């Protein structure tokens, strides 16, 4: 049965509906995702974002996928918070390379107020360069979120990672509700929400559907939804987890687009391991943003020349900065 693509944005999705989308014939699923994507976005424009680690390693959390956890034996070492001028210099280079969005990530459980002052200074100066700003710093209190809002932060990233049912198999040092509380604090402060998850953690299709139901029933939807493919890192508990089927990843992205059609769906981590053909399917499924630059926090990412060649082959264009003509 064809999907009713005229349906307005919804916040009442059920597990049955999400699982039914996953089980649709692949061509039908991608057709409907692309149809909805075109209603809200230019289907041949992709936002270029840059993600930088402003504070790497030494994190007290135990996220099983993450090489920055202090509890795992990886090649990531604990470093201090980057100096503001170095962050701004890297942002200027990102802008000159074509990025319009600049994301700053710190390996913290939650930021100290003293560190937050420095991050606020980074936000102000990066925003002055004409870049859209995003930060991911761990859990936030409402006063901390307000400080970031006053500094001009456009987006705050805090992922749910997976379904509530599978979550405890991946993280034990903070609860699912902790994450939802941070999202609520960000919303109250008036900051746009960037929230998605990771697939390929060893979860079931039901877990992937559960994650999307939780995201799609947030009101309003996250304005930005990163869908990450697990990047397996030696020394983490998930280093030997089996590969997720590529078609299943594309199904997840397409289902996210159908359930949250007005949100920017980001083809996030894992592109280094994807073929050009798989990435093309992701764009067809409604991916409207990618991270560019050869590093994604502490893991590899395709370089700019590789992405340019792919864009040229697919007839894609970098999306202009908000408020600027194409």
Per residue in 117-162, pLDDT (tens digit) is 999 999 999 999 999 999 999 999 999 999 999 999 999 999 999 9
Choose, from 50, 95, 101, 134, the residue flagged as catalytic: 134
Choose, from 24, 95, 101, 103, the residue flagged as catalytic: 103
The least confident of 4-13, 26-35, 109-118, 165-174 is 4-13
Choose, from 120, 194, 195, 282, the residue flagged as catalytic: 194
Q: Report whether pLDDT(5) > 60.
A: no
What's the CA gap between 321 and 326, in Å, rounded?
9
Would you give the DSSP letter of residue 272? G
Choose, from 179, 208, 266, 271, the residue flagged as catalytic: 266
Is pLDDT larger for residue 190 or for residue 60?
A: 190
What's the CA gap between 235 and 170, in Å, rounded?
15
User: What local confidence, expressed as pLDDT, does residue 301 receive?
Assistant: 65
User: What local confidence, expressed as pLDDT, does residue 326 receive?
Assistant: 39
Choose, from 63, 120, 195, 282, the residue flagged as catalytic: 63
Q: Quote the percentage of the chain above a pLDDT of 90.
A: 68
User: What local confidence, expressed as pLDDT, does residue 157 receive?
Assistant: 96
Choose, from 66, 120, 195, 282, the residue flagged as catalytic: 66
CA torsion sign for 245, 267, 197, 225 is: negative
pLDDT, tens digit, 9 for 90 and up, residues 214-261: 999 999 999 999 999 998 888 888 888 999 999 999 999 999 999 999
Is 120 among the catalytic positions?
no
pLDDT (average), residues 20-27:
96
Q: Which residue has the tokens 């792919």?
A: 310
Q: Report whether pLDDT(13) > 80.
A: yes
Which among 67-76, 86-95, 104-113, 288-297 has the top mean pLDDT?
86-95
- SS3 per residue for 119-171: HHHHHHHHHHCCCEEEEECCCCCHHHHHHHHHHCCCEEECCCECCHHHHCCCC
Long-range contacts of 210-213 (CB under 8 A, 24+ apart): 210/15, 210/18, 210/162, 210/163, 210/164, 210/165, 210/166, 211/160, 211/161, 211/162, 211/163, 212/13, 212/18, 212/252, 212/255, 212/256, 212/259, 213/13, 213/14, 213/15, 213/18, 213/259
The least confident of 56-65, 67-76, 267-276 is 67-76
Mean pLDDT of the chain: 89
User: What local confidence, expressed as pLDDT, does residue 4 receive?
Assistant: 58
Is 195 among the catalytic positions?
no
Confidence of residue 324 (pLDDT cuts 50, 70, 90): very low
pLDDT, tens digit, 9 for 90 and up, residues 163-172: 999 999 999 9
pLDDT (average), residues 271-293:
91
pLDDT (average), residues 254-281:
93
Is pLDDT larger for residue 2 or for residue 266?
A: 266
pLDDT (average), residues 20-24:
95
pTM of the entire predicted model: 0.91
């Amino acid at each position: 049965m064809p999907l009713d693509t005229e349906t307005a944005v919804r916040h009442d999705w059920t597990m049955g509906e999400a699982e039914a989308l996953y089980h649709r014939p692949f061509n039908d699923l991608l057709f409907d995702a692309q149809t909805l994507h075109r209603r809200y976005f230019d289907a041949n424009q992709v936002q270029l974002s840059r993600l930088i680690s402003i504070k790497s390693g030494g994190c007290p959390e135990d996220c099983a996928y993450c090489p920055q956890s202090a509890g795992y034996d990886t090649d990531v070492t604990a470093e201090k918070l980057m100096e503001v001028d170095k962050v701004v210099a890297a942002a200027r280079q990102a802008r000159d390379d074509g990025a319009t969005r600049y994301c700053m990530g710190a390996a913290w459980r939650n930021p100290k107020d003293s560190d937050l002052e420095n991050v606020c200074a980074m936000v102000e100066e990066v925003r002055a360069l004409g870049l859209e700003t995003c930060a991911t710093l761990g859990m936030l209190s409402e006063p901390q979120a307000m400080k970031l809002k006053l500094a001009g932060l456009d987006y705050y990233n805090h992922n749910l990672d997976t379904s509530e049912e599978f979550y405890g198999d991946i993280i034990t040092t903070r609860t699912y509700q902790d994450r939802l509380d941070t999202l609520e604090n960000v919303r109250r402060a008036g900051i746009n929400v960037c929230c998605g998850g990771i697939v390929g953690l060893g979860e079931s299709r039901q877990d992937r559907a559960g994650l999307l139901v939780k995201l799609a029933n947030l009101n309003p939807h996250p304005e930005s939804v990163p869908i990450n493919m697990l990047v397996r890192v030696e020394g983490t508990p998930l280093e030997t987890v089996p590969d997720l089927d590529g078609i299943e990843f594309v199904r997840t992205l397409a289902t996210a687009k159908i359930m949250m059609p007005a949100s920017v769906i980001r083809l996030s981590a894992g592109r280094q391991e994807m073929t050009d053909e798989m990435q093309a399917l992701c764009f067809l499924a409604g991916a409207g943003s990618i991270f560019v630059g050869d590093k994604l926090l502490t893991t590899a990412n395709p370089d700019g020349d590789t992405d340019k060649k792919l864009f040229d082959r697919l007839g894609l264009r970098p999306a202009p900065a908000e408020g600027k003509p194409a």
